[in-house]
Amino acid sequence: MELHLTETQALVRNTARTFARERVAPGARERDRTGTFPAELLREMAELGLLGVNVPAAYGGAEAGATAYALAMMEIAEACASTAVAMAVTNMCAELISKFGTEAQKQRYVTRLTSGAAVAGAFALSEPQAGSDASALETRAMRKDGGWVLDGAKQWITSGDRAGVIVVWARTGAGGAGGLSAFIVEGGAPGLLVGKHEDKMGLRASSTVPLQFEDCRLKGDALLGGEGEGFKLAMMALDGGRIGIASQACGVTRAALAATVRYTRERKAFGKPVADFQAVRFMLATIQTELAAAELLTFRAANLKESGRPFTREASMAKLFGSELANRAADKAVQLHGGYGYIDEFPVERYLRDARVQTIYEGTSEIQRLVIARELLRAAG
Ligand code: COS
């Protein structure tokens, strides 16, 4: 769907669109097959301002706002959802540090993320025993010799094997949400051990690893935000992150729909193009209508965010609806391709595999529903 865009938003969208079509889409199938991380593409994205779309220009960002970010994510995800997730987490870390970091942290880490020098950012919140229940995490950070020592295990860390900047959550106080703090850890830090790559169903060109912290020594200035503020930082970052995943879901849905329109117009059955059958048209019409709704939910959340208003509920609604739609749309795309949908000569099986995680990461659909209901009931007084 077409929104009325500002000049800046149109520029970011067009830049991302051209880059996605010319540079990202062509190798997507091969990267998926071989599990090749898009390092070179991320470097080029940094040059285009796509690793800090909503980050102040003072730290190398494009300072183009949350809507421009959503527009750019949709374009990149339409071409390759794996590349989009690495972009999303890098933007999320850059935004988080640019918002809550000290001036020195911003100068040191945000510029590394936006310039591509860090390759990517990573967000290390989840643990083997704490995913949805994020406040139950057990990694500990103890004060020692004016600095901190991290010990614990993290799980499902996107780009965790190559990120130059990793935001890590650890317990610095009592149990529960109030005892958590966030830290900035540099990739390759002594005591940071990178585990084996997860052999995932989808997003196979994005790397996902467990991380282990063993007596990992950090300087005193590694703390991001105040001590005990970590949980709120994580929730705020995830609110923004969910707009990113909603955008990624819209991108995958667009790709699934476009591939299906192409295929059903060409493929003939019973003497006419498959697209001439009403049952097929109804499926296409439903996906297109729901895609427009998902995009509008995403733009609404982004618009609230950039105008400084609360957007927690709207981000969860966009993520919930968009991620479930991407799964329905990719599933229908496979169905309408028949047997060809089930082989990797056509891209729709990849879209289905890539969509599957979207209802799980950055908060499952069930967590989104909890957040939406909590905000609804709170607003009702
Ligand atoms: N923004 C700012 N603050 C927030 C917030 C938000 N979106 N959501 C919660 N908080 C604050 C609360 O206001 C509360 O603060 P006070 O103690 O000062 O009142 C504090 O955080 C604890 O909130 P709450 O009691 O709601 O926390 P819960 O432990 O019940 O957790 C859910 C709430 C389930 C929503 C949260 O744990 C969550 O989002 N889990 C999913 C995590 C996730 O997405 N993981 C994927 C990781 S990335 S792949």
Separation CA 22–CA 228 (nearest Å): 45
Closest CA to 351 of 80, 14, 85: 80
Q: Which of 71, 102, 120 is the last residue of a domain?
A: 120
Is the pLDDT at 2 greater than 90, yes or no? no
pTM, entire model: 0.97
In a domain, 137, yes or no: yes
Separation CA 286–CA 344 (nearest Å): 25
Separation CA 116–CA 126 (nearest Å): 25
Ligand 1 neighbour 125 (Cβ under 6 A): yes
- Structure confidence at residue 381 as a pLDDT band (50, 70, 90): confident
Same domain as 373, residue 242: yes
Give the active site residue among 345, 362, 366, 375.
Answer: 362
Cα 38 to ligand 1 centre (Å): 32
Q: What is the mean pLDDT of the chain?
A: 97
In the residue annotation, 362 being an active-site residue is answered as: yes
Run of H or E including 77: helix 66-79
CA-based end-to-end distance of the chain: 36
Pocket test for ligand 1, best of 235, 317, 320, 377 (most atoms within 8 A of CB): 235
Q: Across residues 298-304, what is the average pLDDT?
A: 98
In a domain, 306, yes or no: yes
Closest CA to 194 of 136, 223, 234, 155: 155
- How much is the CA Rg of the chain, to the nearest whole Å? 21
SS3 305: helix
Q: Which residues contact 199 (CB under 8 A, 6 or more apart)?
A: none
CATH code at position 151: 2.40.110.10
Domain containing 203 equals 123-230
Closest C-alpha residue for ligand 1 atom 15: 232
Same domain as 241, residue 220: no
Same domain as 142, residue 79: no
Ligand 1 neighbour 236 (Cβ under 6 A): yes
In a domain, 1, yes or no: no
Ligand 1 neighbour 235 (Cβ under 6 A): yes
CATH code at position 99: 1.10.540.10
Q: Which of 230, 252, 274 is the last residue of a domain?
A: 230
Same domain as 292, residue 165: no
Same domain as 215, residue 134: yes
Closest C-alpha residue for ligand 1 atom 41: 132
User: pLDDT tens, 251-287?
Assistant: 999 999 999 999 999 999 999 999 999 999 999 999 9
Closest CA to 350 of 92, 83, 94: 83
- The answer to whether 209 and 194 are in contact (CB under 8 A) is yes
Residue 75's φ and ψ, nearest 5 degrees, are -65, -45
Ligand 1 neighbour 203 (Cβ under 6 A): no
Same domain as 171, residue 77: no
Same domain as 351, residue 244: yes
Q: What is the residue whose two structure tokens read 């609360």?
A: 310
Q: What is the pLDDT of residue 59?
A: 98
Q: Which of 171, 202, 230 is the last residue of a domain?
A: 230
User: pLDDT tens, 221-250?
Assistant: 999 999 999 999 999 999 999 999 999 999
Run of H or E including 318: helix 312-337
Ligand 1 neighbour 363 (Cβ under 6 A): yes
Total number of domains constituting the chain:
3
Closest C-alpha residue for ligand 1 atom 42: 132
Same domain as 107, residue 13: yes
